[in-house]
Amino acid sequence: MKFILTFFLLLASLLYAQEVKENDYSVRLFGGASSASDFDQLYTFSGFNTSKYSTNVYGTDIGYKLVENLWSLPFDIYAKTGLSYFDENGHQADFLELTLYIKLIYKLNTLGNQFRFGLAEGISYAGRIPWSEKQEAIQENDNQSNLLNYMEITFDFDIGRLIRVKNMQNYHLGYLIKHRSGAKGTYGGVSDGGSNYNCIYIEKNF
């Protein structure tokens, strides 16, 4: 049951794949630090507290555009997968995480640039439980799970259009909220636990 939402999103996206005008791929590099703020505090800009554990994450994602301009609106849908390296700052052994997700991107062309807002939903499998996530689970007497729901929210802009260098167009610089959670007990019985990371990224479309 816990995979129903993810598979539904993937199936719905594939149904629109015939609308793609051309193959469009993306590669993203990112890095960031664990946050002590809740997910809703981050996306409402009401809290950007860095975790006291000083743990970090670095990674890369690759994506394939399934749908361009959904229903003739400025929305694109991507299928993406990523590999992240978690630097646990000596609290425990470092580890890798694999993510698989569907992402909806809204494109706003204004001020001579393209601004993009993204929302993603999928799954995350971590080789270990992130330290900040583990400590929160202990404090709240919550369950822990390597496999959790994955979400991200992004905002970026086109560097090439900003500095007016044509060869740099389609390079996007942005901010990423990277989130793992149990989706209210749907994954591994994790009801309130999870982790958040504030990240900066650069993404290239080609």
The pLDDT mean for the chain works out to 84
Rg (CA), the chain: 17
Q: Which residue has the tokens 């400025």?
A: 74
C-alpha pair distances (Å), 35 with each of 23, 139, 146, 187: 36, 16, 19, 21
Average pLDDT over residues 71-82: 96
Name the residue among 95, 91, 62, 94 with its Cα closest to residue 78: 62
Name the residue among 40, 203, 13, 198 with its Cα closest to residue 122: 13
Instruction: Enter the pTM of the model.
Output: 0.83
Q: 148 with 188: CB under 8 angstroms?
A: yes
Domains of the chain and CATH, by start: 4-13+28-205 (2.40.160.20)
* pLDDT tens-digit readout, 85-126: 999 999 999 999 999 999 999 999 999 999 999 999 999 999
